[in-house]
Each structure stands twice: as structure tokens, then as C-alpha cells.
């Protein structure tokens, strides 16, 4: 039995029992995309001589990246806080370690190398500009982070809000005078009014 890709033999297995065999493709890459079918011959041929298409063929499309699930504990945080995200690959059957990419609004922003199936990303000192849709993809191969593109499939939305204490101090500056003396400490707060422009 011969496995053909795009009409050319690529693998051969000798039938020993029933009239079927299983061909395994391991560590597949984008170049393995194509039309696959099986042909049978009683005399043995070299793979170079096997050409043809079986009655039933299938098309296999191999992508560079697999989709990963993205999880976030707190989707609304204040400026200056931190956010932990977890990315988990699903339906991966490779024994190789993966490269996990975190994307913001569809564009790669961070990578974790050599992970098995999960990766954790932490955003520290977040700002309002960090708000957006975050999703993850994985690959066996390493790619430049900024060239990685994600869909919003399995994405989470992060909303970074203005820190209320920062907001108050920037709106109402109150001068504080600390008066220290023997046996007493007094704080004098003075509210000043200014004309808004």
C-alpha cells in the first residue's frame, strides 16, 4: 500500500493482515499540506515510480500556528496593577516543546519558549493603553514575535481603568503642612481654590 501526496508516492507499508494500513505523519509542518490518497499494487515499486491518485482523497491543511485557550483571572484592573494570563494548547500531539505567543488585538507581543502545553504571562504596571483583546497561539517553530498574527478566537478582553487615587490627587491638590512639637504632632490641611481654565 502506498501513500501519495499530490499524486506522488511518499510512503509504503507492506500489508500483512487486513486490506488496510495506517500511515502516520509525525512532526508535520506547513509543507505537509496537500492532497493525500492511497494506491495499491501487488508488485513492489520504489516510491519514485509511484504516481497516481486513489479513489478517495483528502486534503490536509497544516497551519504554522495552533489556537490556544486564553484565561485571565481579573479582566478589569486599575492602572499600576498586574495581570496574570494563562495560555493552554489543546489538541496538540507533538512530543516537542512549543513556543507560546501572547497577542494583543491580533498582533504578537510576547513569547514563552520551551513550554509543554501551558504558558503564563504577567503584565506588570499596566496602563490604560494595555486594554484590549488578548489571545494565544503556539508553534513548534520560533517566529519573530511582532510577525505573529492571532485571531480573536478564544480571546479575553482586558480593561485597565484609571486608578481612583491617582485621579483624585491629580484633580484636587491639597497642600499638607506637618507641624511637629514636643509631645504633639499636628497636620494642617489647607484647601485652595483655583479658577479652572
- Give the pLDDT score at 93: 67
Confidence of residue 1 (pLDDT cuts 50, 70, 90): confident
What does the pLDDT look like over 12-55, one tens digit per residue?
Answer: 988 777 778 888 887 777 788 999 998 888 888 888 888 888 77
Give the residue among 111, 96, 94 at the shortest CA–CA distance from 147: 111
d(CA 137, CA 67): 5
Strands 76-78 and 156-161, sheet pairing: parallel
Q: Are 158 and 130 in contact (CB under 8 A)?
A: yes
Asked if residue 183 has pLDDT above 90, the reply is no
Strands 66-72 and 34-39, sheet pairing: unpaired
Radius of gyration of the chain (CA): 30
Alpha-helical (H) ranges within 41-180 are: 164-171
Q: Are 135 and 151 in contact (CB under 8 A)?
A: yes
Does residue 145 or residue 187 have the better pLDDT?
145
User: Sign of torsion, CA 42 47 50 54?
Assistant: positive
Asked if residue 101 has pLDDT above 90, the reply is yes
What does the pLDDT look like over 77-87, one tens digit per residue?
Answer: 999 999 999 99
Alpha carbon dihedral 45, 49, 50, 51, in 10-degree steps, equals -160
Q: Are 135 and 70 in contact (CB under 8 A)?
A: yes
Asked if residue 7 has pLDDT above 50, the reply is yes
Asked if residue 152 has pLDDT above 80, the reply is no
Degrees, nearest 5: CA angle 60-9-2: 90
- Give the pLDDT score at 191: 46
Tell me how crowded residue 8 is: count the other CB atoms within 10 A of its CB. Answer: 14
Decide: pTM greater than 0.85: no
In percent, the amount of the chain with pLDDT more than 70 equals 81
Q: Are 68 and 88 in contact (CB under 8 A)?
A: yes
Amino acid at each position: 500500500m502506498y501513500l501519495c501526496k499530490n499524486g506522488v508516492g511518499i510512503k509504503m507499508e507492506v500489508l500483512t493482515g487486513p486490506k488496510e494500513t495506517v500511515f502516520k505523519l509525525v512532526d508535520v509542518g506547513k509543507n505537509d499540506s496537500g492532497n493525500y490518497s492511497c494506491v495499491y499494487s501487488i508488485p513492489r515499486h520504489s516510491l519514485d515510480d509511484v504516481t497516481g491518485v486513489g479513489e478517495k482523497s483528502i486534503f490536509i491543511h497544516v497551519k504554522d500556528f495552533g489556537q490556544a485557550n486564553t484565561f485571565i483571572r481579573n479582566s478589569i484592573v486599575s492602572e499600576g496593577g498586574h495581570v496574570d494570563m494563562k495560555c493552554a494548547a489543546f489538541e496538540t500531539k507533538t512530543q516537542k516543546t512549543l513556543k507560546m505567543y501572547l497577542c494583543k488585538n491580533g498582533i504578537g507581543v510576547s513569547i514563552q519558549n520551551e513550554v509543554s502545553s501551558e504558558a503564563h504571562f504577567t503584565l506588570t504596571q499596566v496602563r490604560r493603553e494595555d486594554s484590549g483583546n488578548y489571545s494565544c497561539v503556539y508553534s513548534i517553530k520560533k517566529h519573530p514575535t511582532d510577525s505573529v498574527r492571532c485571531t480573536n478566537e478564544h480571546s479575553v478582553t482586558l480593561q485597565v481603568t484609571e486608578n481612583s487615587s491617582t485621579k483624585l490627587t491629580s484633580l484636587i491638590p491639597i497642600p499638607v503642612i506637618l507641624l511637629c512639637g514636643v509631645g504633639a504632632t499636628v497636620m494642617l490641611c489647607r484647601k485652595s481654590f483655583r479658577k479652572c481654565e
